[in-house]
Amino acid sequence: RRSFLGAASALALTFSVATAAVAQEKKYTIALVPGLTTDAFYITMQKGAQAAADALGVELVFQGAPDFNPVTQVPVLDAVIARAPDAILIAPTDTTQLIEPLRKAHDAGIAVITVDTFIGTGVYQTGAGDADFPLAYIASDNVLGGRMAARALANAIGGEGKVFVSNVKPGISTTDQREAGFKAEMAENFPKVTVLETQFNDNDANKAASQLQGVFARDADLKGVFGANLFSALGAGTGVQQAGQTGNIKVVAFDAPGSIVDNISTGLVDVAIAQHPAEIGYYGVVSAYAHLTGNSIPVSIGTGFTIMDKSNIADPEIAKYIYAE
Ligand code: T6T
């Protein structure tokens, strides 16, 4: 009897060692689909994702479209789904137009996590609506970011005067939320600030620059502009410079590529609100890996901001959040 038990446990031991070996050999593939590839924000996100992938022994695939547009992003997503990765991290370029394309990934058994932007309401796994299937949303708190921008701009203009939001286009969760947060903060706490009509630039910095000049031509007492993402902010700054209004029209920028930070030193940009895209990428990969290896994960992870201005930009602890190009 003793020898029978011995044989059985030896068998069990062999089996579990074999299972462990198989488990170790399984190399997961995680795809990261950015909003667009040529954007320092997503390049920095990719770096963070790669750092986590290296730490976990995961293969990371980075595949995206050349512009921020569902029409170009959906075919890229379809190609990624065809490669059958274990998980997809994606910054959906539209809150509604990416729902059905992403459902295909979900139906194919691919774990879907959205990073930076969301589909539907961004509240997942509650059983409500048709877009609650992603496992998690990992991003900045964009309403808060918009409020921070409003405070910075209101303070820069001395609490009164005309300002406007330079934005991408409606239907993008992040930039919609930044604009909403900005307007709410101004309405609640800065009654002497007038927020003019938003100018939508389709993520084209040149368009944002000429729109700035158009607004200034109509409202010569324009005091400030909030560039709600990298290209909006870059363009708004260029517009202020071209109008010869550097320092007179205050610029608050969302995002912090090297070019915008350089403009802080010259006085063209007053404040840049840096997101932490590397953190988004890192925790995106970690979350996907945790899920794939049988662990539960938080349905939402909020990443941080760093406020950059002339007073702190030389500090390495601040400068480390400047985006990679
Ligand atoms: O601001 C980021 C990102 O958060 C947003 O969703 C789209 O624009 C950027 O990528 C900057 O260009």
Ligand 1 centroid distance, CA of 201 (Å): 13
- 3-state DSSP assignment of residue 35: coil
Residue nearest to atom 11 of ligand 1 (CA): 230
Strand-pair partners of 309: 271
Residue nearest to atom 6 of ligand 1 (CA): 174
**pLDDT, averaged in runs of 10, over the chain (325 residues):** 43 49 75 98 98 98 98 98 98 98 98 98 96 98 98 98 98 98 98 98 98 98 98 98 98 97 96 98 98 98 98 97 96
Give yes or no for residue 85 CB within 6 A of ligand 1.
Answer: no
Query: pLDDT (tens digit, 9 = 90+) per residue, 212-256?
Result: 999 999 999 999 999 999 999 999 999 999 999 999 999 999 999
Q: Which atom of ligand 1 is nearest to the CA of 254?
A: 1
pLDDT of residue 7: 44
Identify the helix (H) or strand (E) that includes residue 6: helix 2-25
Which of 32, 39, 303 should be mutated for ligand 1, with most atoms under 8 A from CB?
39
What is the spatial distance between Cα 264 and Cα 251, in angstroms, rounded to a whole number?
9
What is the spatial distance between Cα 240 and Cα 252, in angstroms, rounded to a whole number?
12
Total-model pTM: 0.92
